């Protein structure tokens, strides 16, 4: 298990410096008005709008300044970076299975000077009991693989395939891990395809997680929702609130709405 721990700059161990410039086949992208810089691979897994929507939804729903926060399957580290740099969130832990993505997330944490706010752990969310004590976190966020193992066309890149298809974990694995990690009444925040919403609620309730808030994400006004943003409470009561929809694009299908633009910049 590789861990990047919270340390003050003067306490950082002597080590070979991480390469913080884009290398061959990599890009350096800016989001949140330039506050977040992200190294990514041109041909590997690249983050989409979905984790940005999730980070903002979680902050709006109360994952503010209190309690430890876990990001399951952090990829290049985009969610912790947004929470730390844009919202000033601290005490964030991020778990990533794939070594190459973990390495990229590590570089991004240093690039954005978030060593004190973000701790990285390389490991498998299906085995969180071997890495963390039960009830260690107040909040868990996850942008899990959307596609069931046998659905759709798998990506040629294994890195992309694992991120998009349930090859290394399934929905029940994510919810089981969250149930283990969360304190009683702790919060789980997820983004998932609207087509799997019924399945998601069923799995949550098997693991004593009760949906508290849902917001549907529509590509255009009047079109069916493509995604759902969900906030669930561990051992919570049945009291669901459905928020007004989030519409991504206005009349110009190539331009984001003001609300989405505010998230991006």
Query: DSSP alpha helices (H): ranges in the chain?
Result: 50-60, 78-85, 99-111, 158-164, 171-181, 197-206, 258-264
Look at the domain 3-7+22-264 and name its fold.
Rossmann fold (3.40.50)
Dihedral sign (CA 164, 168, 170, 174): negative
**Of 8, 48, 28, which Cα lies nearest the Cα of 108?**
28
pLDDT at 39: 94
Q: Helices 50-60 and 78-85, interaxial angle, to 10°?
A: 40
- How far is it, in rounded angstroms, from Cα 135 to Cα 232? 16
**Of 145, 141, 96, which Cα lies nearest the Cα of 121?**
96
The token pair that represents 94 in the structure block:
């991020």
Angle CA(176)–CA(103)–CA(127) in degrees, nearest 5?
Answer: 20
Give yes or no for a contact between 201 and 211, defined as CB atoms under 8 angstroms apart: yes
Per-residue pLDDT of the chain in tens (265 residues, 90 and over written 9): 444 433 333 333 444 457 788 888 889 999 998 999 999 998 888 889 999 999 999 999 876 668 999 999 999 999 999 999 999 999 999 999 989 999 999 999 999 999 999 999 999 999 999 999 999 999 999 999 866 665 545 445 654 554 454 445 789 999 999 999 999 999 999 999 999 999 999 999 999 999 999 999 999 999 999 999 999 999 888 889 999 999 999 988 889 999 999 998 8
pLDDT at 157: 60
- How far is it, in rounded angstroms, from Cα 235 to Cα 187? 10
CA distances (Å), origin 14, targets 10, 72, 260: 10, 29, 41
Nearby residues of 170 by Cβ (< 8 Å), 6 or more positions away: 148, 149
**Of 241, 175, 174, 173, which Cα lies nearest the Cα of 208?**
175
pLDDT at 22: 83
Domain boundaries, the chain: 3-7+22-264
pLDDT at 13: 42
pLDDT at 253: 81
pLDDT at 65: 65
The token pair that represents 6 in the structure block:
């919270």
pTM, 2 dp: 0.86
Tokens 């110009």 map to which residue? 252
**Of 153, 144, 79, 147, which Cα lies nearest the Cα of 118?**
79
- How far is it, in rounded angstroms, from Cα 103 to Cα 81? 15
């Amino acid at each position: 298990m590789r861990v990047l721990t919270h340390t003050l700059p003067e306490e950082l161990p002597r080590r070979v410096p991480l390469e913080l410039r884009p290398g061959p086949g990599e890009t350096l992208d800016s989001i949140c008005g330039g506050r977040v810089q992200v190294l990514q691979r041109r041909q590997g897994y690249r983050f989409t709008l979905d984790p940005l929507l999730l980070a903002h939804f979680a902050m709006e729903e109360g994952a503010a300044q209190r309690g430890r926060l876990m990001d399951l399957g952090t990829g290049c580290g985009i969610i912790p970076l947004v929470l730390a740099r844009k919202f000033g969130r601290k005490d964030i832990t991020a778990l990533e299975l794939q070594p190459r993505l973990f390495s990229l997330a590590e570089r991004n944490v240093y690039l954005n000077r978030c060593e004190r706010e973000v701790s990285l752990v390389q490991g498998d969310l299906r085995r969180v009991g071997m890495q963390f004590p039960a009830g260690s976190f107040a909040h868990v966020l996850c942008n899990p693989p959307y596609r069931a193992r046998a659905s759709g066309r798998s990506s040629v890149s294994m890195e992309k395939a694992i991120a998009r298809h349930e090859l290394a974990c399934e929905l029940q694995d994510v919810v089981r891990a969250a149930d283990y990690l969360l304190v009683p009444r702790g919060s789980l925040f997820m983004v998932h395809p609207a087509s799997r919403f019924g399945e998601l609620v069923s799995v949550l309730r098997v693991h004593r997680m009760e949906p508290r808030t849902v917001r549907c994400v529509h590509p255009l006004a009047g079109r069916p929702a493509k995604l759902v943003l969900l906030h669930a409470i561990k051992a919570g009561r049945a009291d669901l609130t459905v928020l007004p929809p989030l519409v991504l694009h206005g009349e110009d299908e190539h331009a984001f709405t003001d609300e989405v633009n505010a998230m991006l910049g």
